[in-house]
Structure 1
Amino acid sequence: DKISSIGMFEHLGLANHAAYFSAVHRLLKPGGIYLHHAITRRGKGSTRTTLRKGAEYKALIKYIFPGGEVDTIGMTLGNLEAHGFLAYDVENLREHYARTCRLWAERLQARF
């Protein structure tokens, strides 16, 4: 009846998103609820520009999500809709997560 994905989507790789959403949709009962929680990055106009891996993105996948790939909210919503999902709510927790990362870094540095 319900499926949730929290803290793992970033580790799938962009090439696996379509297969992932197809599997979730297939496993979910009709009328069921899917909760999708993921870290995203800001879209930068075109998909090509967005998918460029600039310095901030390289730092993210090196220090925060080693080996991961992060898409945008727009890419995620497009994939969800393409695989039969209807998005009822989208929430951005960017400011909260920025604070969380800052506190993690401060505490890590305090121990060295």
Structure 2
Amino acid sequence: DVQASAHRPSPLRVWIRPGSFQRLPTKLVPHAADDPHREPRRRFEVPVLYVGAGTGVAPLRSLILERQAIRQHGVSEAGAPPATPRDVPTSETQPTDILLFGCRRKTADYYYE
């Protein structure tokens, strides 16, 4: 007999040091379309890490659901049908979006126990 047992995932703790965002670049990198020798990167091929630090989950959840719907229905950027099948990732190649959120106090936003 093989018995399945439920394992709780280990917690992932993330700290963002105050002032750490001051060192981030302030200028945007030119779009890949400006370089004729480089294929533009499709935004749905890149996994996204969402960090909801005090913003709540709803806005970030809507972005995740929008990306998921676009992948499932085969719509490319700007709402146009994909030019080629590789423009929209398949279920085998879909990136994994990750949502991190939380509060310092367990009683403030610990939803499930």
TM-score (norm 1): 0.30
The structure that is helix-richer by fraction is: 1
